[in-house]
Amino acid sequence: MSKARIFRMKKNNIDSIVLYKKKQLILLVVISFWCTLPILASCLDNETTQIKTIKVLFIGNSLTYYNELPKLVKERAMLQNIHLKADVVAYPNYAIEDHWNDGDVQKLIANNNYHFVFIQQGPSSQAIGRTMLFEYGKKFKKTCHDNNSKLVYFMVWPSKTYYRTFDRVIANYKDAALANNAIICPVGAIWKANFDATGDLSYYGIDGFHPSLKGSKVAAQTIITTLIENLK
């Protein structure tokens, strides 16, 4: 047998072995791909299930609906993988007593399985406001308890004109929440801490009472932080 023929035979054998190994490699890649599909699907499912749905009711006045605060809260909730479903009952100059006497919010709480119910009224630095936070907060607490909802006091702030009352506003909201075993959302306290540290009053809007967009964004972030801390 000639050397050339032997060489060709060896070359053909080598080519066959290389081709066979390539086919094996391709088969392994295909098998690996199909084997990992369930794992990938599971990972995608896990990502989906990580998004929590929370139902919230906001009860208040213009300090709640100004700058579309509930919408800002929803936007920040999505950044935390939280799908927030929010209902809002808020009218100008309303106190929680007014909402209670209207009777609409009790029906909403009874029929909607809210995780959290936020209540808010004016600054309440005076005795009448403090009493209302305690007495009507107690009524809301019972309604929330009966319907497996958590009651949250949305602490607000005084106007610039009555800035000197800020500490009483903070104390009255905190005291009422503590007395009624409710959650405190300390927006007013966050505002004041920033004011005291920087002297920057830009959280206030042009009327010196309602929030600027910046102030509403701080409020929204504080609300989200409060929700996350109390999800369990």
Task: State the CB neighbour count (10 A cutoff) for residue 39.
Answer: 9
**What does the pLDDT read at residue 1?**
53
The amino acid that residue 73 corresponds to is V
**What does the pLDDT read at residue 51?**
77
Measured in whole angstroms, the distance separating CA 8 from the mean position of its chain's CA atoms is: 73
Q: Per DSSP, what are the bridge partners of residue 58? A: 88, 118
Q: Which CATH superfamily is domain 51-229 in?
A: SGNH hydrolase (3.40.50.1110)
**What does the pLDDT read at residue 40?**
36
Q: What is the 3-state secondary structure (H, E, C) of 3-57?
A: HHHHHHHHHHHHHHHHHHHHHHHHHHHHHHHHHHHHHHHHHHHHHHHCCEEEEEE
Burial class (CB in 10 A: 0-12, 13-18, 19+), 59: buried
Report which secondary-structure segment, H or E, holds 107.
helix 104-112
Nearest C-alpha neighbor of 231 from the set 51, 72, 60: 51
In the chain, which stretches have pLDDT less than 50? 3-7, 9-11, 14-15, 17-23, 25-48
Per-domain boundaries in the chain:
1-50, 51-229
Question: SS3 breakdown of the chain: % helix, strand, coil, rounded to 5?
Answer: 65, 15, 25
**What does the pLDDT read at residue 2?**
53
**What does the pLDDT read at residue 19?**
46
